[in-house]
C-alpha cells in the first residue's frame, strides 16, 4: 500500500506534535501509511526578525501574512513533491465533506497551508494555491486546527489505516445517510433495553432495521441529504408513513 504524504505549512508546527502522535494517526504513521511534513513558515522569512506578516495596504484591522515566506515555503515543498496539490485552509471556502475527503484520500500527496491573522497576501492565493477548503462557517484563530481535521478525515479513508474496511462503508455520510443508532453491552441499561431485533440473530431483520433507522435519523437531522441519494420504494414508504413533528 502506498504512503500518503501530507505537508503542512504553518507558523506553529508545535501544535501538531500531540494530535499526530496519538490514536489512528500515530498507528498510520508507524505502519508507513502516512507521512507528515511540518514546515515552519518563519524559517523561510528573510527578515532578520523572522516576521511573516505586515500591515495591509490601504489600511484596515489586523495583519496580513506576507507573500515571500509563504511562496518560498510552498516552492520548497513542490521541489520535493511536484505532484502535491496546494490547499489553503480559509473561512468562506469550499466546505470539507465526505466526498472531498475521499477525493483527497485517493491522492499520493497534498499540502495544507495554514492561514493566520486577516489572511494571506492575495498574490500568493492567485499564484500558488490550487484549492481552498473550510471546515465550517465560523472563524478560527488560524488554519492549524482545520488542518488537523483534514488530516484525520482523509487518513482514516486510506486502505489499511482502520484495518476493517467494512467499518468505513457503514459510517455516517459514506452512503449518503447518517449512521443508524448503535448499542452495546449491557443489553439492559438502567431499565432501557437495546432493541430486540439487534439481538435476534437474524441478519436480514437487523439490516432492515439499520436502514430504517438511518433513514429516519437523516430525515430528522439532515433532510437535505435525502435529496442527494437514490431512495428505494421501501425507503419512500417508510418516510411517508413517519410523522416527524
Burial class of residue 173, CB neighbours in 10 A (0-12, 13-18, 19+): middle
φ and ψ at residue 120, rounded to 5 degrees: -110, 160
To the question of whether residue 96 is assigned a binding role by annotation, the answer is no
The dihedral of CA 87, 43, 141, 27: what is its sign? positive
Please name which of 168, 187, 180 lies closest in space to residue 219, comparing C-alpha atoms: 180
To the question of whether residue 139 is assigned a binding role by annotation, the answer is yes
**Whole-number pLDDT of residue 10:** 98
- CATH of span 4-157: 3.40.1280.10
**Whole-number pLDDT of residue 138:** 93
As its CATH architecture, domain 172-241 has: Orthogonal Bundle (1.10)
Please name which of 54, 118, 124 lies closest in space to residue 91, comparing C-alpha atoms: 118
To the question of whether residue 136 is assigned a binding role by annotation, the answer is yes
pLDDT tens per residue, the chain (245 residues)?
Answer: 899 999 999 999 999 999 999 999 999 999 999 999 999 999 999 988 899 999 999 998 899 999 999 999 999 999 999 999 999 999 989 999 999 999 999 999 999 999 998 899 999 999 999 999 999 999 999 999 999 999 999 999 999 999 765 555 556 565 789 999 999 999 999 999 999 999 999 999 999 999 999 999 999 999 999 998 999 999 999 999 998 87
Q: Quote the pTM value.
A: 0.88
Beta bridge partners of 36: 6
How far apart, in whole angstroms, are the C-alpha atoms of residue 90 and residue 92? 6
**Whole-number pLDDT of residue 130:** 98
Length of the chain: 245
CB 4 within 8 A of CB 109: yes
To the question of whether residue 229 is assigned a binding role by annotation, the answer is no
Looking at the chain, the domain(s) classified CATH 3.40.1280.10 span: 4-157
Looking at the chain, the domain(s) classified CATH 1.10.1270.20 span: 172-241
Amino acid at each position: 500500500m502506498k504512503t500518503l504524504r501530507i505537508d503542512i505549512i504553518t507558523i506553529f508546527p508545535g501544535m501538531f506534535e500531540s494530535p499526530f502522535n496519538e490514536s489512528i494517526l500515530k498507528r498510520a504513521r508507524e505502519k508507513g501509511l502516512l507521512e507528515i511534513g511540518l514546515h515552519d513558515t518563519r524559517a523561510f522569512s528573510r527578515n532578520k526578525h523572522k516576521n511573516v506578516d505586515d500591515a495591509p495596504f490601504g489600511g484596515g484591522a489586523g495583519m496580513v501574512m506576507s507573500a515571500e515566506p509563504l511562496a518560498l515555503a510552498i516552492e520548497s515543498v513542490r521541489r520535493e513533491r511536484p505532484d502535491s496539490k496546494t490547499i489553503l485552509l480559509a473561512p468562506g471556502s469550499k466546505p470539507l465533506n465526505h466526498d472531498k475527503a475521499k477525493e483527497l484520500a485517493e491522492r499520493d500527496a497534498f499540502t495544507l497551508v495554514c492561514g493566520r491573522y486577516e489572511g494571506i497576501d492575495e498574490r500568493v492565493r492567485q499564484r500558488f494555491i490550487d484549492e481552498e477548503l473550510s471546515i465550517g462557517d465560523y472563524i478560527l484563530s488560524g488554519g492549524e486546527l482545520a488542518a488537523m481535521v483534514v488530516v484525520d478525515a482523509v487518513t482514516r479513508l486510506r486502505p489499511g489505516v482502520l484495518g476493517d474496511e467494512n467499518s468505513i462503508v457503514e459510517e455516517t455520510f459514506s452512503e449518503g445517510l447518517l449512521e443508524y443508532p448503535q448499542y452495546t453491552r449491557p443489553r439492559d441499561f438502567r431499565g432501557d433495553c437495546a432493541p430486540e431485533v439487534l439481538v435476534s440473530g437474524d441478519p436480514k431483520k437487523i439490516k432492515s432495521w439499520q436502514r430504517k433507522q438511518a433513514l429516519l435519523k437523516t430525515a430528522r437531522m439532515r433532510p437535505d441529504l435525502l435529496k442527494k441519494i437514490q431512495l428505494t420504494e421501501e425507503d419512500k414508504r417508510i418516510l411517508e408513513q413517519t410523522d416527524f413533528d
